[in-house]
Amino acid sequence: MASAPDRTPCPADPRADGPARPAADGSPPPAAAPGPPARRSVLTWEAGCFVAIGIVSTAGQALLYWLLRGWWPPAVANLVSLLVLTVLNTEANRRLTFRHTAAPPVRAHLGAGALFLLGYLLTSGAVLGFRGAVPGASPAAETAVLAAASVVVTVVRFLVLRLAVFRRPGRRRV
């Protein structure tokens, strides 16, 4: 007679009451992927992951922008650096931050595409506005303005991704 499947919650599941138990056949539980501990809320986990990924992404975009700025004008350097890092950032957030949702990759990247456009317009506007106000500004100064504008875009991006793109079942659309 076959035994019932083990229904032990994943240790990364915020609803888990304790550590994972061995499977019904006595084998040890699988290694847990990082996730929100039972003591923390899902929002805390999502915000923490998003901030960590965002810091790496912002630094990566600033570095790529700074490198591309040697060859291209600000708007083009920003477009390319933002495009590359948006794809990487979205995939990292889909796999880590919002992995407990069932959003397919196409939905995630399409939703991020609209946010990409908003982010590009805001960050390019900030850099071009800065260049208009300070015509002799160095690429390093432009990069600082770009990074500051990216922080604002990141807050908006987190809210839209969490509430609309990666919403959990039962959560109403915004």
Tokens linked to 95: 């796999």
Asked if the structure places residue 72 within a domain, the reply is: yes
Give 50-104 pLDDT, tens digit per residue.
999 988 988 998 899 999 999 999 889 989 998 999 889 888 988 898 887 777 7
Asked if the structure places residue 91 within a domain, the reply is: yes
Asked if the structure places residue 128 within a domain, the reply is: yes
pLDDT of residue 5: 39
pLDDT of residue 7: 36
Asked if the structure places residue 143 within a domain, the reply is: yes
The secondary structure of the chain, three-state, reads CCCCCCCCCCCCCCCCCCCCCCCCCCCCCCCCCCCCCCCCCHHHHHHHHHHHHHHHHHHHHHHHHHHHCCCCCHHHHHHHHHHHHHHHHHHHHHHHHCCCCCCCHHHHHHHHHHHHHHHHHHHHHHHHHHHHHCCCCCHHHHHHHHHHHHHHHHHHHHHHHHHHHCCCCCCCCC
Asked if the structure places residue 33 within a domain, the reply is: no
pLDDT of residue 164: 81
Round the average pLDDT of the chain to a whole number and report it. 77
Give dist(CA 113, CA 48) in Å, integer. 23
Give 114-143 pLDDT, tens digit per residue.
888 888 899 889 999 999 999 999 988 988
Asked if the structure places residue 84 within a domain, the reply is: yes
Asked if the structure places residue 6 within a domain, the reply is: no
Report the domain count for the chain. Answer: 1
Asked if the structure places residue 30 within a domain, the reply is: no
Query: Which domain does 65 fall in, by range?
Result: 57-165
pLDDT of residue 13: 41
